[in-house]
Structure 1
Amino acid sequence: MEKTDKKVIKKRLEEIGKEIVEQAKSKKVPYIRVPSRTTNNIVFDPKSLCYVIGDKTITRSAGNIRHVKPLAQMLKVASFCKELVEEELKHETKRGLYYISESWGEKLKFDEQPESDNIIEDIEAIIGEPREDFHIIPNPGGAVYGDLTLKFKNPSGKMMKINCLQTADGQTIGPRMSEAEIAECNAKRVIAIETSGMYNRFMEENAHKKFNAILVNLEGQATRATRRLIKRLNEIKKLPVYIFTDGDPWGLHIAMVIMAGSAKSAHINKMLATPSAKWIGVTASDIKKYKLRSDKLKDVDIKRIKELKKDPRYKSDKRLLEELKIWEEIKKKAEQQALLKYGLRYVVDEYFPAKLKEMEKK
């Protein structure tokens, strides 16, 4: 999955405005059709194994007084993003865009950030590309460590190469890292790890060498930049992806968002999700098998399990449904670090090799 050419992005942004201009020239009331992102238009696609946007659209028309300002704001944001793409090295965050709108005057500025966030997501849905491609970037999050060389332009425009082994704690995954050219990759798999503590354990035990892997620190729920980098390593370099999380329904869902995307990102899930990724654990079965120190599931955990059992992303996977059932039976959850009861090296020397062998058979 390579990035869409900048010229194509620029053209798609321009077409939003051109459509309005053509309607005005034809003396029609200007309007824009936007793919609906409401829950009744989010469907599970069994082919791509993720949530996607359906066929329903909403219309923003200048003929409706309530639509006039959002319509004008969308045109202004699309124009602003086109300028960012043209300048190539300029990027902005959603928060920054909200404040920049102050300079657009009383009639165009956003009163609250959710208004500008919503328009950014509408533009993503209209042009069919994630906001990173029109230079509205997320905050950095997560890190990557392993024999992976990335090539990119730094903020000054200088072309650089960075090998992710030549850093103390792994290379931070920001927007430039997630979109960088993969100049060289000598690994055979990706291991994505939920917690920073376990990520550090894998680094110190040289797991990147033992498993010939790229280690990714998710730092909890993976950011869009992290999910996109994982997908690119999977699609471009054909690396299998294994996800290692805490042993609770929230950890499992962190893995599922990497595998199948989220409902909120249904309009761009195909560009973020890695359907072939596999959840290693910690599973509910592991809690029993390894006699891990555990905590009692809270009501909110049990409620979450019931929700996941109804989710189509889980209903099609017998293994995941079985693990959810076991959680309901044992009513316990455990953290990744619970495995350290067997020693610092145990996870890398014993637990993970066994789990990897088990998953690679399937």
Structure 2
Amino acid sequence: MESLTGLVSQLYDQLDEGEIPAMQLPLRSKRNIEFDPRHNVWKYGDLKTSRTAKTVNGATMMLRTVYTADFINEMIRDSKSSTLREMYYISEGWRNAKFHSQDESNLLAEDLETITSCMREDFKLRPEESGAHIYGDINFTTQTKKGMKKMNCIDDVSEAGFAVPYKVEDDTFQIDPGNTKFVMAIETGGMYARLIENGFPEKFGCTLVHLSGQPARSTRRLIKRMNEEYNIPVVVFTDGDPWSFRIYASVAYGAIKTAHISEYLATPTAQFVGITASDILNYELPTDKLNDKDIGALHAELTDPRFTDEFWVTEIQAMLQMGKKAEQQALAKYGLDFVTDSYLPEKLTNMGIL
């Protein structure tokens, strides 16, 4: 509340002194992404952009900023929370300050994070359901309506696993690693279900995390906590295409959109287990042809600072050369047990995980 009040006070003081109010924000583009050696993640550099009330659009954003800060303070005072979608609709009552799309309200919430050095979760703003689930011999003590409750992510959950809440900080969410030897983050629900059905977590001491596509912030934060606080290795298992490579990058290095909080979300030691271009060749996997968007994304990744090491350059160039991509489920060519009996044990052994 103090950080938000301080922001609004600065705007007020500028107006009171007869100045046109302005705010400084980090430039949010690849051009301003730099490697932070202290946290081993990619985050925003020193380049700034200025938001000023010299224009109608700029003045409108200032107005929205004040309304949003007031709304957040009111929630904190009343011990309430809101989804990002609800905040967008609540703005309908803000007259000239209302948002025209949810993208605008989401971006302003991120702007407030960069300016105040607080996280969206501190503002009591939460996303819609992320769909992320966890399955494995690990225990979480989490806040419920009846108080803190401890749950084992095999014995006390359904086959879908434990649903990841939007806030996973230690004050409301505690971790007991149990018998977990490593964490595997999985892109698709089909592969997540296959590994559970085949008994992979129990056999290898693995905790599975279903990322449900591009992972939500709380999912990435929980993966980081398991890795950082309990020294549990993390591997990421995705489809073999440029969009899936970016899913891995967001887990390991941070996403450009959330580069201002990469040190809280990214797990730099996370390793990529597949599917790679090399896998497509070595296992002769069924493939689909790269489309124009895929090709453009792969070329963009060759200039992305998160993909500069030799492994990624080699794999991306190989995928471009063959013009093919493959899904995780392509491993079913060799039967439903191949992924858990051969593919993953072999690759994880070579990586030093097993």
Per the normalisation by structure 1, the TM-score is 0.87
Letter in 2 for 1:153: Q
Say whether the 8 Å CA contact 1:191–1:242 is kept in structure 2.
Answer: yes
Which stretches in structure 1 are left out of the alignment for 5+ residues?
1-9
- The two structures, once aligned, show a CA RMSD in angstroms of 2.4
Matches within 5 A, 1:214-233: 214-233=207-226
Say whether the 8 Å CA contact 2:30–2:304 is kept in structure 1.
Answer: no
The CA deviation string for residues 270-294 of structure 1, in whole angstroms up to 9 with x for no partner, is: 2221111110011111111112122
Distance 1:208 1:278 in 2: 18
Three-state SS of the structure 2 residue aligned to 1:310 is: coil
Structure 2 residue 343 is matched with structure 1 residue 343: no
The verdict on how the C-alpha distance between 1:177 and 1:265 changes in structure 2, with shifts beyond 3 A counting, is: closer
Of 198, 202, 210, which aligns to 2:195? 202
Say whether the 8 Å CA contact 2:236–2:271 is kept in structure 1.
Answer: yes
The CA deviation string for residues 91-129 of structure 1, in whole angstroms up to 9 with x for no partner, is: 21221101112233x233333333322321210110123
Structure 2 residue 238 is matched with structure 1 residue 238: no
Matches within 5 A, 1:32-111: 32-39=22-29, 42-45=32-35, 47=37, 48-61=39-52, 66-88=57-79, 90-104=80-94, 106-111=95-100
The CA deviation string for residues 322-353 of structure 1, in whole angstroms up to 9 with x for no partner, is: 11122123322221111122222221121111
Distance 1:114 1:351 in 2: 40
Q: Which residue of 1 aligns with 2:137?
A: 147
The verdict on how the C-alpha distance between 1:24 and 1:301 changes in structure 2, with shifts beyond 3 A counting, is: closer
Say whether the 8 Å CA contact 1:195–1:245 is kept in structure 2.
Answer: yes
Of 101, 108, 122, which aligns to 2:111? 122
Distance 2:260 2:82 in 1: 21
Say whether the 8 Å CA contact 1:139–1:174 is kept in structure 2.
Answer: no
Q: Which residue of 2 aligns with 1:314?
A: 307
Letter in 1 for 2:177: C
Q: CA deviation at 1:160?
A: 2.6
Distance 2:243 2:12 in 1: 48
Three-state SS of the structure 1 residue aligned to 2:33 is: strand
Of 324, 327, 332, which aligns to 1:332? 324
Per the normalisation by structure 2, the TM-score is 0.89
Structure 2 residue 242 is matched with structure 1 residue 249: yes
Three-state SS of the structure 2 residue aligned to 1:111 is: coil
Three-state SS of the structure 2 residue aligned to 1:222 is: coil
Structure 2 residue 99 is matched with structure 1 residue 113: no
Of 256, 260, 264, which aligns to 1:263? 256
Distance 1:72 1:92 in 2: 20
Distance 2:56 2:323 in 1: 54
Q: CA deviation at 1:185?
A: 1.4
Distance 1:63 1:342 in 2: 64
Q: CA deviation at 1:62?
A: 5.2
